[in-house]
A and B are shown apart, each in its own frame.
Chain A
Amino acid sequence: MGFDQYHEPADELPPETRTFARMCASLTEEAEAIGWYEQRLAVEPDAQARAIMRDAQGEEFKHFAMDLEYLLRRTPRWREIAQGVLFQPGDVVEHGEEAEAESGDEEAAAGDAPRSGGGPGGSFGGAAAADGSLGIGSLKGATL
């Protein structure tokens, strides 16, 4: 098995970034499997075989959703943009542009990288931080 999910030398990457990369690779594989089953289903004439493949594809849907949720919980800005796009009625591209623009101001404060604690948490759709907390953290330097 290769280690090509790492774009940078693995021994230079912190553990949480390696986990993040593994989960991104897993997400990609689940999406590929969903596409492969879709193609097989389109050409398979046997009903029993199609039923089995449809059941297997359902497993991949679940795996993809779990991988995605894991990644979104650890990446506040990604989560915020996704919340503006996913399950929203209307124009997808429009929602995407709006969600990206609205998340921009908080990028510096929240950070793009997955975090595993340390310092104030990022935003979670303007609500909870990635760890479920309010993300208050240190207030040293604040007055009143």
Chain B
Amino acid sequence: MSHLLREHAPITAAGWKEVDEEARERLTPALAARKLVDFAGPLGWEHSATALGRVAALADEPVRGVAALQRRVLPLVELRAPFTVAREELRAIDRGAVDADLDALDAAAQRIAVAENLAVFHGLASAGIEGIAQVSSHPPVPLGEDACDRYPTHVARAVEMLLSAGIEGPYGLALSPEAYTGVVETTERGGYPLLDHLKKIVGGPLVWAPGVDGAVVVSLRGGDFLFESGQDLSVGYERHDEQAVHLYLEESFSFRVATPEAAVALPVNA
């Protein structure tokens, strides 16, 4: 039995199928980081740390004339977003209902996706994770509050920075929901969609990225940004009562930036 304890939940196969499909549908659009960085795993719930290949010298010698080194690792962080599903809704699913109320699941999916994006792009200091925008070796390129039509200039500048540093493309552009909406809604002079113009500049995808401040341009060549999954996103069982089943979305992962030169942050404000 897995630690998710799904077998203990009072949920039928049809109910689990609906819950899992809903979770997958809600998570996939919001998991921006996975669309731009390298993904390794899943390596299992038991996987606890990422080897960094480095050591730290211990100050004291265990025995005179014997040096001691300790391996450095990056422990995986566990993210968990609880939610409930009304048992009445689960019974409705079993009867064939296609409009079950799974709003709490949708909200939990959004929360955990934002948390993953935040960790990857802006870091999670308490877990020892440094984000892409944090460690970029390039000066940030401020987008400004209301200059959507100036995005091509800013993004082209970021791409030029990467090229100058010898970082090959194609590149991807993670955009905050506000920036993404602005891009989609904007048409440049001559009626050319801003979205298409930006795609041409970066040569890769534009990604809707809830949790991102402004935008981030990253190289997609591979080997620069390393997401290591222990347990991939899963739905687990916590408990149940007469009214509801208490479930949770959970994952474990670590994230490392191998090449700080391979990204440029474009925050709303400098």
Seen from chain A, the residues whose Cβ lies within 8 Å of a Cβ on chain B are: 83, 117-118, 121, 125-129, 131-144
Contacts and interface: CB of A to CB of B under 8 A. Distances in A.
30 contacts: A117-B44, A118-B42, A121-B232, A125-B13, A127-B21, A128-B234, A131-B231, A132-B6, A133-B232, A133-B233, A134-B232, A134-B235, A135-B24, A136-B24, A136-B31, A136-B232, A136-B233, A137-B42, A137-B229, A137-B232, A138-B38, A138-B39, A139-B28, A139-B34, A139-B39, A140-B36, A140-B39, A141-B35, A141-B205, A143-B207
B198 to A, nearest CB: 12
B50 to A, nearest CB: 15
B208 A133 contact: no
B6 A128 contact: yes
A83 B12 CA distance: 13
A140 B37 contact: yes
Contacts of B29: 144
Given A127-B21, A143-B205, A132 B41 contact: no
B114 interface: no
A134 B34 contact: no
Contact of A134 (B20, B35, B38): B20
Nearest to B234: A133
Sorting the interface of chain B by its residue count into under 10, 10 to 19, 20 to 34 or 35 or more gives 35 or more
B161 interface: no
B39 A134 contact: no
B234 A139 contact: no
Nearest to A139: B34
Interface in B228-254: 229, 231-235, 251
Nearest to B19: A127
A126 B38 CA distance: 26
Contacts of B206: 143-144
A112 B44 CA distance: 20
A130 B8 CA distance: 17
A-B pairs, top 5 by smallest CB distance, nearest first, are A138-B39, A133-B232, A127-B20, A139-B34, A143-B205
B200 interface: no
B62 to A, nearest CB: 36
A135 B232 contact: yes
Contact of B35 (A128, A129, A143): A143
B126 to A, nearest CB: 25
Contacts of B20: 127-128, 134
B4 A132 contact: yes
Contacts of B21: 126-127
Contacts of A142: 28, 35, 205
B176 to A, nearest CB: 14
B143 interface: no
A137 B24 CA distance: 11
